[in-house]
Amino acid sequence: MVRQEQRNGATLEGRPELNNILDFIHPGETLVVTRIDRLARSVQDLQTIVARLKEKGAYLAATEQPVDTSTAAVKAFFDMLGVFAEFETNLRRERQAEGIAAAKSKGVYKGRPPKIDMPEIKRRLTEGQTPTQIARDMSISRGTVYKTKLSIKSAE
């Protein structure tokens, strides 16, 4: 049976198809994936998946990599692939953070524009509108209005 999921392998959380497979796989069956980094991006997650498969008496194989957890030598290679996938993910995060920092220093990166009009909240508060009324009119939470109200008081 072929199962497909529209999630990346960065975490095991929020992956119902993978969890269904791991819950219902039978002894002697093999979970086949195209590549290991599609399944998990950290060694810990990869080892968790393999451990769950092993508990069930099942195996893991990859079509584009020489991975089959039924042999010890390939299991060692498999663990190395997991280390490299995790390393690649960490490098990507570091490069992204460096790029954002460089863009911020040049004044190019300003982040996402705010969704909430704080000056409008302040204006309405000074006009005497209640937080509940402001929240309802602006489709925001009352907590946001109260935070803005606190920031006005602390600025005074």
Averaged pLDDT for residues 67-87? 73
Quick one: 101 and 127 in the same domain? no
Quick one: 37 and 59 in the same domain? yes
At residue 68, the 3 state secondary structure works out as: strand
Query: Is residue 118 very low, low, confident or very high in pLDDT (cuts 50, 70, 90)?
Result: confident
Read off the pLDDT of residues 29-53 as tens digits, 9 standing for 90 and up: 988 888 877 777 777 788 888 888 8
pLDDT score, position 156: 65
Quick one: 63 and 22 in the same domain? yes
pLDDT score, position 96: 92
pLDDT exceeds 90 at position 60: no
CATH code (residue 95) = 3.40.50.1390
pLDDT score, position 69: 66
- Give the span between the Cα atoms of 145 and 80, in whole angstroms: 51
Quick one: 24 and 81 in the same domain? yes
Quick one: 126 and 62 in the same domain? no
- Give the span between the Cα atoms of 106 and 111, in whole angstroms: 13
Number of domains in the chain: 2
**Residue 41 placed within a domain:** yes
Averaged pLDDT for residues 69-76? 70
Quick one: 124 and 102 in the same domain? no
Quick one: 93 and 125 in the same domain? no
pLDDT score, position 26: 92
- Give the span between the Cα atoms of 124 and 147, in whole angstroms: 14
**Residue 2 placed within a domain:** no
The residue range of the domain holding 38 is 16-106
Q: CA angle at residue 93 from 87 to 97, to 5 degrees?
A: 145
Quick one: 25 and 90 in the same domain? yes
pLDDT score, position 98: 93
Q: Return the higher-pLDDT residue of 1 and 83.
A: 83
**In the block, which residue shows the tokens 């390393």?**
87
